[in-house]
Amino acid sequence: MQFRNYFKSNLVHQSQGPLQRPLQRFFQKRWISWLKRTMPVLDEVRLHRRNIFIFPSKFGGGFSILIILLFVLGVNYQNNLVIILSCFCFSLFITTMLLCYQNMAGILIRPKAHREYVADQLISMQCQLSSDDTKQGLRLNYRDEPVADVSSLLGQRDVALTLNQRQRGTNRLPRLIIASEYPLGLFRAWTNLEFEQDIVVFPASVPYVEKLTAIEQGNGAYTSRRTVSGDSFSGLEPFRDGESLKRVAWKQLAQGKGMLTKQFEQTLGEPQWLDINDITAVDIEQRLSHLAYLVNHFSSKNQPFGLRLKHQVLPVDQGNLHRHAALTLLANYGGGHE
């Protein structure tokens, strides 16, 4: 087994000579350029005759050669049964092509990206498929990524797709390939789609205790208390006369748990500045990972903080939106990666 894999890898490597690789890149570049001109980038795409490609599969190519041979043999030997058989196979060939196209037409594709993504991890995407008719034997994958099989589709369905490890920064989703060889595998219908959707990959979070230790030893230690206003929900307390009805937990009241009021936490500590020049690390990526850890830590404590990245400054604030803005700034620092 090991010898066979070694021989196969060497054979493939030798077959891709110095002339073949530039030609392959050239045709691939022209192909992508033609796709961009033909199929515009959209948020969602419905498949139809202008964005579905269909071509005989390897099995279909062999089947077409068999049809030609049967017809030639039937005419040569004047055998009507063989001629009828070749005509039947040809009609089956054409019918399969129409059914293969019809199996793809009408599908609505919409990618969904709602989660936060971290560098050096697999990215899980949700792709929503919708169809009014039953579709069979669909295969989906982003270019050069693992394939997800959909045996049957009717109505609406979410399909989980994975992308390999990505560098931090804002990344455009690669092209999505949807293919099918239904019903007999004689033809392969496929489409190659690009969506107008970017995903932000945050730096990996690596603990950094030096900054936290310095805060605890100095005067910037932070505490929190329950208040009537704040960004972080902290719990429920019994309702007291005179409190605003806007703070009543109506869901718990409907469940028969009594009148309860929502309590929030508000930070009382001094604001902290996170400066990339204050982080000691061997390289810039590790510094950004430490800053990502501090951003998540301060946000979990409702601690106001600001962020300085050389010429980029994020003012002091707090809350989940501020946390997301800080992580996005870290992700795109230096053009996404250095």
Same domain, 133 and 241: no
Above 70 in pLDDT, residue 7? Answer: no
* Mean predicted confidence (pLDDT) in 69-81: 92
Residue 179: predicted pLDDT: 94
On whether residue 13 sits in a domain, the answer given is no
Confidence of residue 65 (pLDDT cuts 50, 70, 90): very high
Share of the chain above pLDDT 90, in %: 25
Q: Which of 315, 277, 271, 322 is nearest to 295 (CA)?
A: 322
Query: How many structural domains comprise the chain?
Result: 3
Residue 56: predicted pLDDT: 93
Same domain, 334 and 300: yes
Q: Which of 296, 149, 322, 128 is nearest to 211 (CA)?
A: 296
How many Å apart are CA 57 and CA 262, to the nearest integer? 62
Residue that terminates a domain, selected from 236, 252, 267: 267
Q: Higher model confidence: residue 229 or residue 172? A: 172
Above 60 in pLDDT, residue 147? Answer: yes
Residue that terminates a domain, selected from 246, 267, 288: 267
The strand pairing partners of 108, in sequence order, are 46, 130
Above 80 in pLDDT, residue 29? Answer: no
Q: What is the span of the domain harbouring residue 210? A: 203-220+271-338
Confidence of residue 84 (pLDDT cuts 50, 70, 90): very high
Same domain, 216 and 277: yes
Same domain, 278 and 186: no
On whether residue 132 sits in a domain, the answer given is yes
On whether residue 167 sits in a domain, the answer given is yes
Q: Higher model confidence: residue 219 or residue 235? A: 235
Q: Which two tokens stand for residue 9?
A: 């890898």
Q: Which residues contact 159 (CB under 8 A, 6 or more apart)?
A: 126, 127, 128, 129, 140, 148, 150
Above 50 in pLDDT, residue 2? Answer: no
**252-298 pLDDT tens trace:** 777 777 777 776 665 555 678 888 888 887 788 888 998 999 998 88
* Mean predicted confidence (pLDDT) in 184-213: 83
How many Å apart are CA 101 and CA 55, to the nearest integer? 10
Q: Higher model confidence: residue 294 or residue 22? A: 294
Above 60 in pLDDT, residue 4? Answer: no
* Mean predicted confidence (pLDDT) in 128-155: 89
Q: Would you call 191 helix, strand, or coil by DSSP? A: strand
Residue 36: predicted pLDDT: 63
The strand pairing partners of 307, in sequence order, are 274, 314
Same domain, 142 and 69: yes
On whether residue 100 sits in a domain, the answer given is yes
Above 50 in pLDDT, residue 229? Answer: no
Q: Which of 294, 293, 300, 287 is nearest to 333 (CA)?
A: 287
Above 50 in pLDDT, residue 13? Answer: no
Residue 144: predicted pLDDT: 77
Residue 10: predicted pLDDT: 46
Same domain, 195 and 256: no
On whether residue 12 sits in a domain, the answer given is no
On whether residue 49 sits in a domain, the answer given is yes
Residue 14: predicted pLDDT: 44
Same domain, 168 and 298: no
Confidence of residue 64 (pLDDT cuts 50, 70, 90): very high
* Mean predicted confidence (pLDDT) in 290-311: 87
Residue 265: predicted pLDDT: 60
* Mean predicted confidence (pLDDT) in 140-155: 87
Above 50 in pLDDT, residue 55? Answer: yes
On whether residue 93 sits in a domain, the answer given is yes
Same domain, 42 and 122: yes
Q: Confirm whether pTM is higher than 0.85.
A: no
Residue 126: predicted pLDDT: 84
Same domain, 194 and 54: yes
Same domain, 158 and 235: no
Same domain, 191 and 211: no
**148-178 pLDDT tens trace:** 999 998 889 988 888 876 778 888 778 888 9
Residue that terminates a domain, selected from 201, 235, 259: 201
Same domain, 160 and 252: no
On whether residue 327 sits in a domain, the answer given is yes
Residue 86: predicted pLDDT: 94
